[in-house]
Amino acid sequence: MSIQSFHPPVRTLMGPGPSDVNPRILEAMSRPTIGHLDPVFVGMMEEMKELLRYAFQTSNQLTMPVSAPGSTGMETCFVNLVEPGDKVVVCQNGVFGGRMKENVERCGGTAVMVQDEWGRAVDVNKVEEALKANPDAKVLAYVHAETSTGAISDAKTLAELARRHDCLTIVDTVTSLAGSPLMVDEWQLDAVYSGTQKCLSCVPGLSPVTFSQKALDVVTSRKTTVQSWFMDLNLVLGYWGGEGKRAYHHTAPINTLYALHEALVILQEEGIENSWKRHRKNHQALKAGIEAMGLKFVVPEAERLPQLNAVSIPAGVDEAAVRLALLSEYNLEIGAGLGAMAGKIWRIGLMGYASNTTNVLFCLGALDAVLSGMKAPIDSGVAVDAARAAYAG
């Protein structure tokens, strides 16, 4: 056997995640590994908690990264807040609302589903009806930014409805954090989870979470033990809790945490509002080019995520062949549809470090060339100029 070192190709990542990683973050990962209880590392942990509070726009004391991907952040919220017999109203307008339902049921709870069309925002009127019909519901769970469709929902209004009906909220912000306005304190969200590989442009493998005091009070007054030892916040807080001495819980992914710290420093340097504006500006340019080609967006403009663009596939086009050509000829990755959207859309990500003018123009040019070469029914040769005009305007 003569297996050698792995050297991946250099790709431009414009799918649904991971996104391109800022070179500063890759450099941060290469720094010397130290112990996860080293006083210097503990000091960095405190800085990271403060930086995450800025990203989430919260003052919640319990704000930290879970040592695993965004799916574990989701599970952390559910296993800590949902006990056997609890009723949870779950909004589903894509793949990840379905995963919320799975979590509720695995916790022994009952999921009351509010279904909406994939590619549309959650209908707040349907949610209000469900909460009225289920006055014993404990939690309202919903996805702020649905990665599978590119739709953004009104997290603020949904949280207002939850409070009116004495419910906690569990909110998926995996794709919205740092890319779209997210105001945890102002909107009074209770348990919020995200991921590092989207608009933070960090490597995958961590899940930032934040819990309101109201949610934390529910965790600490549970009648039953949290079913997951690893995700039990009553135990994790011994390590990530207050300042000073830390209790051993698990060996933290030290170098990955360096990466997140650097990603959050970069976000602080840019400014959260500027990050939101940059994602919006690049979406507008991409939109101009896509529509100039004659392609259409799935999500209505008022409900559309700027950082995750769901584009309908032209008639007669082999969508997988297009993605393969982009990858093999241009080292450019865009995403396929998931679930009900499989085979119907491409998902083009403009997230974090990948959300820039160069990538927008590169993606439009490559997509135009590939589709034209396949004799697809598009208007060729106009997309890049349309995007340039949008930037100029």
Q: What is the pLDDT of residues 186-204, one digit of tens each?
A: 999 999 999 999 999 999 9
Give the strand pairing for 87-92 and 168-172.
Answer: unpaired
Question: Among 247, 269, 291, which residue terminates a domain?
Answer: 269
Q: Same domain for 206 and 326?
A: no
Q: Same domain for 104 and 121?
A: yes
Q: How far apart are CA 94 and CA 97, in angstroms?
A: 6
pLDDT of residue 162: 98
Q: Same domain for 285 and 236?
A: no
Give the CATH number of the domain where residue 382 resides: 3.90.1150.10
Give the CATH number of the domain where residue 96 resides: 3.40.640.10
Question: Among 269, 295, 312, which residue terminates a domain?
Answer: 269
Q: Same domain for 306 and 263?
A: no
pLDDT of residue 285: 98
pLDDT, one tens digit per residue, over 115-150 is 999 999 999 999 999 999 999 999 999 999 999 999
Q: How far apart are CA 179 and CA 181, in angstroms?
A: 7
Average pLDDT, stretch 247-261? 94
Does residue 56 fall inside a structural domain? Answer: yes
Q: Same domain for 113 and 96?
A: yes
Q: Same domain for 360 and 289?
A: yes
Is 90 exceeded by the pLDDT of residue 244?
no
According to DSSP, the residues that pair with 193 across neighbouring strands are 172, 209
Average pLDDT, stretch 275-290? 98
CB 238, CB 346: distance < 8 Å: no
Domain, as residue range, for 342: 272-392
Q: Same domain for 166 and 296?
A: no
Q: Same domain for 207 and 307?
A: no
Q: How far apart are CA 44 and CA 202, in angstroms?
A: 17
Is 80 exceeded by the pLDDT of residue 37?
yes
Q: Same domain for 104 and 165?
A: yes
**Res. 350 pLDDT band, cuts 50 70 90:** very high
Q: Same domain for 231 and 328?
A: no
Q: How many domains does the chain have?
A: 2
Q: Same domain for 74 and 198?
A: yes
Does residue 5 fall inside a structural domain? Answer: no
Is 80 exceeded by the pLDDT of residue 291?
yes
Question: Among 269, 294, 313, which residue terminates a domain?
Answer: 269
pTM: predicted TM-score of the whole model, two decimal places: 0.97
Does residue 176 fall inside a structural domain? Answer: yes
